[in-house]
Every structure is written in structure tokens, then in C-alpha cells.
Amino acid sequence: MSATAKTKAITVPDIVARKSGEKLVSLTAYTTPVAKLADRHCDIVLVGDSVGMVMHGLKSTLDVTLEMMIMHGQAVRRGMERALMVVDLPFGSYEESPQQAFRSAARVMAETGCAAVKLEGGTSMAETIRFLTDRGIPVMAHIGLTPQAVNLFGGYRVQGRGDQALRVLADAEAIAEAGAFSVVVEKVAEPLARTITERLSIPTIGIGASAACDGQVLVVDDVLGMFTDFQPKFVKRYAEQGADADAAMEAYAADVRGGRFPSAEHIFPDNGPRLAGSGSAA
């Protein structure tokens, strides 16, 4: 969608209606300035629990708290006008029971103003998804590689190959039947991701999955090239801001140490009477 297009705020029904239509564009955002940019170009802005790794230096998403998601959700909300805002429910805030999930989701929606929440899991989360949607909380599901279960998977491995395919497909069908309005399909073998997209009546949002998905999502810092030491196979960088930032900081440090910054153009002259001891010849 053009950055200059005039349109109303995107709603959950709008996203559902895009199934098999114009591709859905999604990026993560964790701050107000980035949200303002993403809002101009995306249909969905996801406040992902990847914030823990991207902005807080955590080794995984498992240590992310509900309070962290709410804080970043509030920041993103301030930069939003048109895209659909979705906030991740972090690990430990919804798995115990549908009732726990409802309390967490209701708090997130009330305190951030988001339009929907996202949770990980397939068949095991179907009851929870139904419980939430029956009570007016739109849910984006997340299947395939679910980072909150990384220890169970033994790492960030591709899902849906061989005997795994039937399990992932069952997860997809279960969450759709339970009422999820869309589903993130992460790091799933391409043929299976394509099959899931064809079978489900709700939009699929791929990340390391298939171009046949109804949309795509990436972590915004990956897209911008903020990390110079790691690039997942499924990421396409559209900028190299990490390298640019490193070079800029190096140049700044050199100018400060060399006495070249600040120069006359960066300081404020005083044309009034000089203070005693300021270098006056008087």
C-alpha cells in the first residue's frame, strides 16, 4: 500500500477479508519513532516479544514479561494511526489456563489500545483461543517454530519436514477452527506452508515459510540491518543501518578526540559584554 494512500484504520475484519487477496505487509515495532514509519507502509504492526532480544539483550524471548510488552505496546500505540496493532502475549502469561490468558489479554488491550493479541501454539492452545474470541478478544495465532518453545524443539530448527508435517498441519487447522483471525507460520518447510495457506480460510503470515502465504512479517531490525553479526536465512536486508551507525559513531568519536567537534557552527556565540576572566583585554 502506498505511503501516501488515504484510508481508514485497518480492522480485524479487513485483515480477514484480505485472504487470497492483496498480500498483507507486517513488521515488528517496539518504539514510537519506528511505529510511525511502519504505520505508513504496513497493514499489521506487531509488538513482538522479540523485543527482549532486540532491545533488551536477552538470549531468548522466555524472560520477557507482561509489563515489558505493555510498556513497548504503549510506545508503539503513540505512533499508530492506520495499521492494525497486535501485541504478543509473553511466555508464562497465558499457557496455564484460558482464564489466565483472558486476564493477560484483557490487560494488554486495555493498557495499550491494541486491536488484537498474538499467542503461540496450535492444538494445545485451541481451547484458549476459543475462550478469548468468544469474549471479544481477537487472536492472531503462531505455529511452526514457536520461539517460546525453543527448548522443546532443541533450537531454532525448521519445522514441518517429514513426520512433523501432519502435526503442524493439525495445529493450523485447530487454531483456525478455534476462531483465530490469522496465523503466523514461522520457519516451516515451504511445501507445507503453501498447503496450510491453501487449506485455511484465514490469512497466513509467513516468516521463513512460503511466498504463497497471504502475507509476510519480519523483525524490523533485521530488515534495516541493525545487526552486523547475524542474518537469518529467511531475512532480506533492505538497509545496512548497523554498519552505517557504527561508522557514524567512529567518525564522531574521532572528531571529539581530535578537537574537531564541536566547531564554530555547532556552538552559540554571545554578542553581549564579556564576563570578567573570559579572555577580555580590558
pLDDT tens digit string along 65-102?
A: 999 999 999 999 999 999 999 999 999 999 999 999 99
Residue 135 C-alpha cell reads as: 469474549
- CB–CB of 44/205 below 8 Å? yes
Residue 154 confidence class, pLDDT cut points 50, 70, 90? low
- CB–CB of 215/26 below 8 Å? yes
Strand partners, 45: 27, 85
What pLDDT is stored for residue 2 in this prediction?
Answer: 47
CB-count burial class (<10 Å; 0-12, 13-18, 19+) for 213: buried
246 labeled binding residue: no
93 labeled binding residue: no
CA-angle at 211, arms to 167 and 87, nearest 5°: 70
DSSP class of residue 275 equals P
**What are the φ/ψ torsions at residue 91 (nearest 5 degrees)?**
-55, 135
CA atoms of 155 and 149, how far apart (whole Å) = 9
**What CATH code would you report for 12-239?**
3.20.20.60
182 labeled binding residue: no
Whose grid coordinates read 485472504? Answer: 19
Share of the chain above pLDDT 70, in %: 92
Whose grid coordinates read 531454532? Answer: 156
| Residue boundaries of the structural domains of the chain | 12-239
233 labeled binding residue: no
97 labeled binding residue: no
Residue 274 C-alpha cell reads as: 564579556
Specify whether 67 is catalytic: no
- CB–CB of 86/44 below 8 Å? yes
Q: How many helices (H) and strands (E) does the chain have?
A: 11, 8
Catalytic residue chosen out of the listed positions 22, 81, 186, 190: 186
**What are the φ/ψ torsions at residue 184 (nearest 5 degrees)?**
-80, 130
Strand partners, 86: 46, 116
Residue range 16-35: mean pLDDT, rounded: 98
Residue range 151-156: mean pLDDT, rounded: 65
